[in-house]
Amino acid sequence: MAATISYSTTIKIGPVGAADAYSSPSAIAAIGEVTSLSFDGVAQSSLEVTSIADAVKRYKAGILDAGSIAIELNLDYDDAQQVAIAAAATDRALRSYLISFGAASTGGMTVSGVGVVTGFSVKAATDAVLTISFSIKCSAAYTLTAI
């Protein structure tokens, strides 16, 4: 399989299940007018376990950080999912997210998990479209799946 074009990439946001567990939002419409989407992925901390007898520093794996998601949109407030994620920016509730990178026909993958919307901003500039930015802090583990 060759490299995969970004077109067809989508993100869906929905409620979490019982005990704040992931609940697939696959039946919910994707957020419209997404112009860029980045998932910065996991960060692995390291714990130094060097002893006085070591000549080279030694480490063990620490706690994982599931990372965050940044989304850029063209503003279209007729899009119900844009309204929904804007609401999620202020209600302090966790959300399930499902990102589809690419499509089945191009060998894409999904990233799914739970997170909280931590940022929301709107930008207007001369001779430019109105844009919205969102950020989501991922909580606990995420799942990668081939489409």
Partner 1 sequence: MRFVEAIHKILQQAPTVIGFVGAGNIFQSLAPPTTAFPFIVVGAQSDDAVSPTLTSKDTLRRATIVVDCVGTSLVDAARIADHVRYDLDKAKGSITLVTSATMVIQSVIITNDSMTFDLGSDGGENAGVFVCSVNIKIYYVATTPVPVSLTTGL
* Residues in touch with partner 1 (CB under 8 A): 6-10, 30, 32-37, 74, 127, 129, 131
Nearer Cβ to partner 1, position 16 or 69?
69
Nearer Cβ to partner 1, position 20 or 86?
86
Nearest distance from C-beta of residue 105 to partner 1, angstroms: 10
DSSP state of 84: H
Nearest distance from C-beta of residue 135 to partner 1, angstroms: 17
Nearest distance from C-beta of residue 33 to partner 1, angstroms: 5
Nearest distance from C-beta of residue 4 to partner 1, angstroms: 12
Per-residue H/E/C for the chain: CCCCCCCCCEEEEEECCHHHCCCCCCCCCCCCCEEEEEECCCEEEEEECCCCCCCCCCEEEEEEECCEEEEEEECCCCCHHHHHHHHHCCCCCCEEEEEEECCHHHCCEEEEEEEEEEEEEEECCCCCCCEEEEEEEEEEEEEEEEC
Nearest distance from C-beta of residue 27 to partner 1, angstroms: 18
**Comparing C-alpha atoms, which of 21, 140, 40 is closest to residue 99?**
40
Nearer Cβ to partner 1, position 7 or 61?
7
Nearer Cβ to partner 1, position 38 or 45?
38
Q: What does the block give as tokens for 13?
A: 């946001």
Nearer Cβ to partner 1, position 89 or 103?
103
